[in-house]
Amino acid sequence: MIKVSSTRRLDRTDVLIVFAEEPSSKDVKPLHKWDALSGDSSRRLAAALEKENFRGKVGQTFVWHAGDSRAERVIVAGAGKAASRDVDMTIRAAGAAAKKAKEIGATKVACALPPAGKLGEERNAQAVTEGLILGAYEFDKYRQAKETKAFEAAEVLGAPERAVKLAEIFARATVYARDLVNTPAGDCAPRHLAEAAKRLAGSNVKVTVWGQKEIEKKGMGGLIGIGKGSDEPYHFIMLKWEGKKGSKKVAIVGKGITFDSGGLCIKPADGMGTMKCDMSGAAAVLATFSALPDLKPDCTVYGYIPAAENMTGGSAVKTGDVLRTASGRTIEVNNTDAEGRVVLADAMTVAREDHPDEMIDLATLTGACVVALGDQVAGMFTNDDNLAAGLDAASKRAGERLWRMPIVAEYRELLKSEIADIKNSGGRGGGAIQGALFLQEWAGDQPWAHLDIAGPAWTDKGLSFCQPGGTGFGVRTLLEYVTAQGK
C-alpha cells in the first residue's frame, strides 16, 4: 500500500495529478483551477486538453509532458460535474489517476486537490487520498515478474492531516479485505480465516474461534451440513470490540464460504472461476475489526463468521436433506448451491444470544441481486427504517452504493417446506428477496439489515480505483456506520 502524506508546498515531482471538472454543457470547456502549475504551463495544458477533446468525465485521464519547473509530467483526471460530484466520483477520479501514474512508471507523485464543492475540505481530501491508495493497489503476491511497479508514496497538496490519516485507515482496511478475497481458495481455507482473525486479537479486540467440537456441541447443523463435504474443517469465528459502557451494540455477520463449488448442485465451470470471492462478507468483517483499534468507535461491535467450503465430497449434504440449526428450526436443503443463507442462519442465532441492538449481515448471496442491480450496487434489505437511513448515509459518506430493496411477505410461501420448517430456495423468481426472507426468519423482530454484495464484491474487468478481483466492498460503509454511532 502506498504511503500518502500532506504537504503545503510542492517541490519538483515526476508526476503531478490535477483535476478538471466536466462542464454542464458540451459547448463549454472543462473547468479547472491549477494553482500548482505556473500560469504559462496552465494555459498550455488547457490548450492541449481542448485539442484532445478532454471533457473531464470521471475515469478519463490525460498525460501531458509539461517540462514545468514543478513537474516533469502532468496527469489530468476527469472529476465529473461539480454539481453532482460526490465521494464515490472523487474516489474513482483519483483512482483512475493513480492507475495511470503506475502505467507510465511514475516514481514520485504529487496530487493537487479538486475544488471541494459540496463535499467540504476534509471529505474531499479524504476521498482523493483513498482513491490514490486504492487505485495504486495491486495484488502481485504470486507473480515472480512484476508487470508494474507502483510508486511507493504520494503527496497531497493542502490536505488536512486528519483527512489523510482517516483515508489511510479506511483504505488500509479495504486493502486488507481485497488481499483476503484475491488469495486463491487453496491458500485461504476456513482455517486461514480463523488464523487471520486470531492475529487481530489485542488492542481491545477479543477473538474466539470454535472448531468442530464446539460447533457440534452448539448444534449448528446448518454450518456442519454445508461444511462436511470438504476435507477442510469448518470453523466459527467471533470477534468483539468493547465500546463505552452502555453504548449501542452492533453485530455484523459475514458469510465465509471460502470456496463454493455449488455442492452436489454443482456450478458450471465458468460459474466457479471466481468462487474464491464467496467469503467477501467475512473479509469485510475481519477488515472492519482491523481498523477499529485506530478509529476507536464508542459503540460495542460484535463480529460473527461461519467459515466453510461448499464441496462435493462423499459426505456432502444431499438435495432433500433436512438440517437442524442451532435455533432448533429445520431447513430442507432443496438447492445445495443456496448454502450461504444456511450457514448464516446458525451465525445469526449465536449473534442474537449476545443481545445486540441491531444486526447487519453481508453476503455474496444471490446472482439474482446482480441481475437486478448490476455489479456496482449492493442490495439492502431491512426491517427497520432507522437502520436503513443510517446505512444509506454511511454508504454515501464512504462512496459505496446501496439500494434498498423490498421484502415481499407474500414470497415467504415460496420457501414453505412439506417436511421441515423452511426450505432454502423457492425457485428463480425474486431470488434476492427470497434470500432476505429466509434470513429474516433468524433475525426475528430486532433491527436487522441484509446487504447482498454479490455484485460489487468482485470486478471481472476492473474499476477506475480497483484492479480485476476483489473490491473490498462494504468495509468503508461499515466503518462509517460504526464510527457514527453514539455521536
The answer to whether residue 166 sits within a structural domain is no
From 267, 329, 401, 404, active-site residue? 267
Give the residue numbers spanning the domain of 311.
Answer: 174-484
Question: Per the structure, how many domains does the chain have?
Answer: 2
* pLDDT of res. 63: 96
The answer to whether residue 203 sits within a structural domain is yes
**Edge to edge, what strands does the sheet with 322-324 contain?**
322-324, 330-332, 422-423
Share of the chain above pLDDT 90, in %: 88
Which H or E run includes 380? strand 378-382
pLDDT tens profile 144-170: 776 666 689 999 999 999 999 999 999
pLDDT tens profile 302-312: 999 999 999 99
The answer to whether residue 198 sits within a structural domain is yes
- Rounded Cα–Cα distance for residues 180 and 166 (Å): 22
The answer to whether residue 162 sits within a structural domain is no
* pLDDT of res. 148: 62
Show Cβ contacts of residue 363 under 8 Å, excluding neighbours closer than 6 positions: 254, 255, 281, 340, 341, 344, 450, 451, 452, 453, 454
Based on the domain organization, do 260 and 372 belong to the same domain? Answer: yes
**296 annotated active-site:** no
Judged on CB neighbours under 10 Å (0-12, 13-18, 19+), 298 is middle
Based on the domain organization, do 290 and 389 belong to the same domain? Answer: yes
* pLDDT of res. 329: 98
- Rounded Cα–Cα distance for residues 250 and 231 (Å): 34
Which H or E run includes 22? strand 13-22
Comparing 38 with 401, which gets the higher pLDDT? 401
Based on the domain organization, do 82 and 180 belong to the same domain? Answer: no
Based on the domain organization, do 143 and 214 belong to the same domain? Answer: no
pLDDT tens profile 62-77: 999 987 668 889 999 9
Supply 263's cell numbers.
455442492
Contact assessment for residue 159 and residue 120, using Cβ atoms and an 8 Å cutoff:
no
Please choose, from the candidates 111, 351, 124, 108, the residue with its C-alpha nearest in 3D space to the C-alpha of residue 253.
351
Based on the domain organization, do 151 and 275 belong to the same domain? Answer: no
- Rounded Cα–Cα distance for residues 78 and 18 (Å): 9
* pLDDT of res. 27: 61
As a whole number, mean pLDDT of residues 427-448 equals 96
* pLDDT of res. 149: 67
State the CATH number of the domain containing residue 49.
Answer: 3.40.220.10
Does residue 93 come out as left (phi exceeding 0), alpha (psi in the -120 to 50 range) or beta? alpha
Based on the domain organization, do 132 and 217 belong to the same domain? Answer: no
The answer to whether residue 149 sits within a structural domain is yes
State the CATH number of the domain containing residue 376.
Answer: 3.40.630.10
Based on the domain organization, do 341 and 446 belong to the same domain? Answer: yes
Share of the chain above pLDDT 70, in %: 98
Based on the domain organization, do 268 and 332 belong to the same domain? Answer: yes
pTM, 2 dp: 0.97
Q: Which amino acid is at 145?
A: A
Strand partners, 209: 237
Based on the domain organization, do 45 and 128 belong to the same domain? Answer: yes
DSSP secondary structure, 442-471, as one string: HHTTS-EEEEE-TTTTEESS-BTTB-SEE-
Based on the domain organization, do 143 and 217 belong to the same domain? Answer: no
The answer to whether residue 314 sits within a structural domain is yes
From 102, 123, 341, 397, active-site residue? 341
Based on the domain organization, do 178 and 227 belong to the same domain? Answer: yes
The DSSP bridge pattern shows strands 402-404 and 378-382 to be parallel
Based on the domain organization, do 398 and 282 belong to the same domain? Answer: yes
- Does residue 238 surpass a pLDDT of 80? yes
Contact assessment for residue 90 and residue 98, using Cβ atoms and an 8 Å cutoff:
no
**118 annotated active-site:** no
